[in-house]
Amino acid sequence: MKVNQIWANLGVENIERTKSFYKSLGFQLNGEPSEDLVSFFFGPEDFVIHFFKKEKLEASLEGSCANLSSGNEVLFSLAVETKGEYDQFVTDIKNAGGRILFDSNKNKKELYDKNGFIVCVFSDLDGHKFNLLYTANM
């Protein structure tokens, strides 16, 4: 089987709040939002993440979305090209109301992990977690 495209579908509580958060981080909208969906492009290949109103997604799943206070359904990794972009992204996340769960940049003694990455794990306003990373080797 050949797949033409792959994208992600995540559940959120508030479409407008989600739209504001991701727009403030610089992501481009994928079409016009509706009352049940807002969608963004991520990365140079325009990977699409649809953020559905939680109730709408649960109807399609015929079940509940993950309880993000006790776990996560997926961890997307977002790579940036420069240390300056990394630092700006972390600032933008904080300013948009996201939560920084871990930032290796804070501990200057161990700035890079064993593979040479600076890593930040953050969550959006609904608790979806992302991994932001920078390495000079990219």
Q: Beta 47-53 vs 37-42: how paired, if at all?
A: antiparallel
Give the pTM.
0.87
Question: Tokens for 100?
Answer: 């920084």
Q: How far apart are CA 78 and CA 131, in angstroms?
A: 6
Q: What domains lie within the chain, and their CATH numbers?
A: 1-65 (3.10.180.10), 70-138 (3.10.180.10)
* Beta-bridge partner residues of 131: 77, 121
Which phi and psi angles does 40 have, rounded to 5°? Answer: -130, 155
User: Coil, strand, or helix at residue 87?
Assistant: helix
Has residue 31 got a pLDDT over 80? yes
Q: 105-121 pLDDT, tens per residue?
A: 776 555 556 667 889 99
